């Protein structure tokens, strides 16, 4: 069985002091395990504090929520892959639904961000997912695979094999609605097939995560679904005890 991946996306929560306290508390309460991967994505301003709080705990990985497409330059307010790598990040979310639908990020920009992550030694997690009206119109497969294939378009097969991907239906994020296990399995199967067309049988080793109103109550059923190799969690990861419960699923 593939080693499950648990990703906490704190979004715009926890400044440096709160991030440090959270990570110190988690590190005290969580015994290192070699059968799963745990990743925490604090706001950029809190990344250094989070990294310092878990120094020496290689099992607790710090990631970035976003990067810009270029390594440096006149891009006021943006953060580059070079910067987050120097701050201690090992991982980065790319194309999260809020980046796409709140900030207008395009499929082409996600491709450039994945490429920027890879060339700077970060592991990208490419996120894809459909809106409610797209789902109701029967366009889920078309939308997901368009976002997916474009996002991977600037990467070599070797780079794709080193990354992770996630299905996060936009209609299920922060709404309390969750895709059923069968829904998740179907979309993950489409994504797995798209990966197989790019990298062959080795596609089976690339983790595909589910994200969208994951909680301590539904994590076990989602993780048990065919083709689901982990979870990408927002609000439910903000409580230390709740996140420990999910990570222990």
Q: Which residues are catalytic?
A: 96, 168
Residue 21 in 3-state DSSP? helix
Burial 125-134 (b: 16+ CB within 10 A, else e): bbbbbbbeeb
Cβ 194 vs Cβ 153: under 8 Å = no
| Per-residue DSSP letter, 187 | H
DSSP 87-147: HT--EEEES-HHHHHTS---HHHHHHHHHHHHHTTPEEEEEE---HHHHHTT-HHHHHHHH
**C-alpha distances in angstroms, 92 versus 11, 12, 80, 126, 196?**
13, 15, 11, 9, 23
**C-alpha distances in angstroms, 74 versus 77, 104, 108, 203?**
9, 20, 20, 38
Cβ 121 vs Cβ 110: under 8 Å = no
């Amino acid at each position: 069985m593939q080693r499950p991946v648990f990703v906490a996306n704190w979004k715009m929560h926890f400044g440096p002091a709160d991030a440090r306290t959270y990570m110190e508390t988690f590190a005290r309460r969580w015994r290192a395990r070699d059968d799963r991967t745990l990743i925490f994505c604090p706001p950029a301003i809190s990344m250094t504090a989070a990294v310092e709080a878990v120094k020496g705990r290689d099992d607790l990985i710090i990631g970035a929520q976003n990067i810009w497409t270029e390594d440096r330059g006149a891009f006021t307010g943006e953060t580059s892959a070079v910067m987050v790598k120097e701050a201690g990040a090992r991982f980065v979310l790319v194309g999260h639904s809020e980046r796409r639908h709140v900030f207008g990020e395009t499929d082409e920009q996600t491709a450039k961000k994945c490429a920027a992550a890879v060339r700077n030694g970060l592991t990208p997690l490419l996120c894809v997912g459909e809106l409610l009206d797209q789902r109701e119109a029967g366009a889920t497969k078309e939308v997901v695979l368009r976002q997916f294939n474009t996002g991977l378009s600037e990467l070599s097969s070797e780079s794709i094999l080193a990354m992770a991907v996630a299905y996060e239906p936009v209609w299920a994020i922060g709404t309390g609605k969750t895709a059923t296990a069968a829904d998740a399995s179907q979309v993950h199967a489409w994504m797995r097939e798209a990966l197989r067309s790019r990298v062959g049988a080795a596609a089976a080793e690339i983790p595909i995560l589910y994200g969208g109103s994951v909680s301590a109550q539904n994590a076990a059923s989602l993780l048990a679904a065919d083709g689901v190799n982990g979870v990408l969690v927002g609000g439910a990861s903000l409580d230390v005890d709740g996140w420990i419960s999910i990570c222990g699923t």
